[in-house]
């Protein structure tokens, strides 16, 4: 997926890539937690199907491969603190799956994560400007 995105983007122009990338930064605390061997072992034994399904998908997203690829291609993550954007049981933030990435000729300020009724994801917003 990431390679096809990069192939379609003119990286010589200011560019923003924003959305649910189903990828967790390998540097984030949730990534380190979900990739721990004991957690991977426990995920397979969770008795509730919905929670086990979510836990399994998260454990597959923690390698950060998509984000690493996009960063190597020249994109910058707008939220270095990796605030959670996906909720468990509509209450507990568990990981950042929704990202705002940009080329280095764009300045991003005031990055925020907002509650959004009707979704298991939080909304993200930021102030953006091109760098002259």
* Number of CB atoms found within 10 A of residue 104's CB: 10
Nearest to 28 by CA among 1, 63, 55, 3: 63
pLDDT of 105 > 60? The answer is yes
Average pLDDT over residues 43-48: 66
Model pTM score:
0.75
pLDDT reported for residue 46? 67
Average pLDDT over residues 27-54: 65
Least confident piece of the model among 63-72, 104-113, 121-130 = 63-72
- Tell me how far apart the alpha carbons of residues 66 and 61 are, in angstroms, rounded to a whole number: 9
pLDDT reported for residue 78? 94
Superfamily of 2-130 according to CATH: Endonuclease/exonuclease/phosphatase (3.60.10.10)
Residue written as tokens 């990435």?
101
pLDDT reported for residue 58? 65
* Number of CB atoms found within 10 A of residue 61's CB: 22
More confident residue, 89 or 15: 15
Q: What is the DSSP string of 37-85?
A: HHHHHHHTT-SSHHHHHHHHHHHHHTT-HHHHHHHHTT-EES-TT----
For 63-72, the pLDDT digits (tens) are 677 888 898 9
Domain ranges within the chain, ordered by starting residue: 2-130
For 65-100, the pLDDT digits (tens) are 788 889 899 999 999 888 888 877 556 677 888 999
């Amino acid at each position: 997926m990431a390679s096809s995105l990069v192939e379609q983007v003119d990286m010589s122009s200011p560019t923003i890539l924003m959305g649910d990338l189903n990828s967790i930064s390998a540097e984030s605390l949730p990534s380190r937690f979900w990739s721990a061997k004991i957690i991977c072992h426990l995920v397979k034994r969770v008795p509730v199907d919905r929670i086990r399904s979510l836990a399994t998908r998260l454990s597959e997203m923690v390698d950060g491969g998509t984000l690493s690829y996009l960063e190597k291609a020249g994109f910058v993550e707008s939220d270095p603190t990796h605030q959670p954007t996906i909720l468990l049981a509509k209450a507990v933030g568990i990981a950042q799956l929704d990202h705002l990435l940009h080329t280095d000729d764009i300045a991003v300020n005031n990055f925020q994560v907002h509650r959004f009724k009707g979704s298991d994801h939080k909304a993200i917003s930021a102030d953006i400007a091109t760098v002259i």
